[in-house]
Amino acid sequence: MNKLRSVVRGSGAALPKRIIDNAEMATLVDTSDDWITQRTGIKSRHIAGEGETTGSLATAAARAALAEAKLEPNDIDLIVLATSTPDHTFPATATEVQHELGITHGAAFDVNAVCSGFVYGLSTADKFLRSGDYKRALVIGAETFSRILDWTDRTTCVLFGDGAGALLLEAQPSSGGRNDRGVLSSHLRSDGRYRDKLYVDGGPSTTKTVGHLRMEGREVFRHAVINLAETIQETLRATGYAATDIDWFVPHQANRRIIDATSHKLGIDPARVVLTVDKHGNTSAASIPLALATARGDGRIKDGDLVLIEAMGGGFTWGSALIRW
Ligand code: ACO
């Protein structure tokens, strides 16, 4: 019993009030519900309004995770927030969340791995918790991609949405066996050769502007299916599980076709796949924790379930993790 494991104590989500469905999207750019549904599976997305920021959504998701765990903000000593749409260039949005929650101890920082950000954040927090340095962490994915979209570019603006999700992890003693609860394994990868396939064309050190999202959609699609299958197989090998052992597959919600192709390639039962892309669009780092909170909230994910998460995003970055809930 001398090992520590990062066990999920709570999950939470927050979405902006305003919903834009595909019919409304077709009034903004030359597109249609048919095109968007067929190519992506997206039907609607939430878009942040005035006063709704990455930080405010992250704080609301964190509070919901604390409520499920029946813990107080001061029980938290680490906040890792995954985002590529921070409230400010600095300080880290994680410190804004820390302040809003009234926490003045411990540490808070942001992680930027774009759509893979939540897997990167979870893996980072897991290592801090297993080292014994911190006891309880909020791992948050929060984004307001609507603010970096080019709303005249129909090839990108129809794909994304805003939102936040959070997991509350606690370091608990474990035998180290794969049936014990907690994060069992996580695997991160990146390959900067592809950094110009999905990027934002601005930044403080280059253009001194925020910039807009640019993407070569077909290239991203092609790499996503290959890279995601590879990282999932690595995670399964590390834990000795097969794809058929997974209770819930909770992929990054970028595109229904990427999710279908990946689960088909791995032989994952479609009934075990959690899908929120239809209602949320692609919320980048927020998509996995939003989907986890959705499936936990509606009773699908139960204590003890084996949950596989994966994501790929700009950089390229990608990764996966297996959690015994
Ligand atoms: N509405 C109507 N027509 C459109 C739209 C739109 N919103 N966008 C593009 N088109 C048109 C194009 O102009 C093109 O027309 P043309 O043939 O007359 O030139 C036609 O549709 C086909 O365009 P493609 O880009 O070839 O369409 P594709 O089948 O590749 O689908 C898509 C595009 C959905 C972006 C796809 O490539 C994709 O899913 N890529 C993955 C990208 C992704 O999910 N990125 C998210 C971030 S990364 C991540 O999270 C993994």
The pLDDT, as a whole number, for residue 278 is 98
Last residue of a domain, one of 153, 174, 195: 174
The pLDDT, as a whole number, for residue 299 is 98
Which CATH number is 160's domain given? 3.40.47.10
Q: Are residues 209 and 78 in the same domain?
A: no
In the numeric block, which tokens belong to residue 247?
A: 């209770």
Any ligand 1 atom below 6 A from CB of 312:
yes
The pLDDT, as a whole number, for residue 1 is 53
Q: Are residues 193 and 293 in the same domain?
A: yes
CA proximity to 252, closest of 66, 113, 152: 113
DSSP state of 103: -
Q: Are residues 140 and 261 in the same domain?
A: no
Any ligand 1 atom below 6 A from CB of 4:
no
The pLDDT, as a whole number, for residue 123 is 98
The pLDDT, as a whole number, for residue 203 is 98
Q: Containing domain of residue 21, as a range?
A: 3-174
Q: Which atom of ligand 1 is nearest to the CA of 218?
A: 37
Compute the distance between CA of residue 25 and CA of residue 157 in angstroms, rounded to an integer. Answer: 9
Any ligand 1 atom below 6 A from CB of 311:
no
The pLDDT, as a whole number, for residue 246 is 97
pTM: 0.97
Annotation marks residue 252 as catalytic? yes
Cβ pair 169, 197 in contact under 8 A: no
Residue 246 corresponds to which amino acid? I
Annotation marks residue 157 as catalytic? no
Structural domain count, the chain = 2
Annotation marks residue 112 as catalytic? no
Any ligand 1 atom below 6 A from CB of 135:
no
The pLDDT, as a whole number, for residue 276 is 98
Last residue of a domain, one of 157, 174, 191: 174
Angle between helices 93-100 and 54-69 (to 10 degrees): 50
Q: Are residues 85 and 168 in the same domain?
A: yes
CA proximity to 314, closest of 139, 141, 112: 112
Q: Are residues 163 and 186 in the same domain?
A: no
Q: Which protein residue's CA is at the shortest distance from atom 48 of ligand 1?
A: 313
Q: Are residues 216 and 156 in the same domain?
A: no
Any ligand 1 atom below 6 A from CB of 282:
yes
Cβ pair 229, 266 in contact under 8 A: yes
3-state secondary structure of 87: coil
In the numeric block, which tokens belong to residue 42?
A: 């997206």
Any ligand 1 atom below 6 A from CB of 207:
no
Compute the distance between CA of residue 174 and CA of residue 180 in angstroms, rounded to an integer. Answer: 7
The rounded average pLDDT for each run of 10 residues, N- to C-terminus, in the chain (325 residues) is 90 98 98 98 98 98 98 98 98 98 98 98 98 98 98 98 98 94 98 97 98 96 92 96 97 96 94 98 98 98 98 98 98
Compute the distance between CA of residue 309 and CA of residue 319 in angstroms, rounded to an integer. Answer: 8
Which of 46, 187, 223, 252 is flagged as catalytic? Answer: 252
Q: Which atom of ligand 1 is nearest to the CA of 39?
A: 34
What's the 155 CA to ligand 1 centre distance in angstroms? 5
What's the 156 CA to ligand 1 centre distance in angstroms? 8
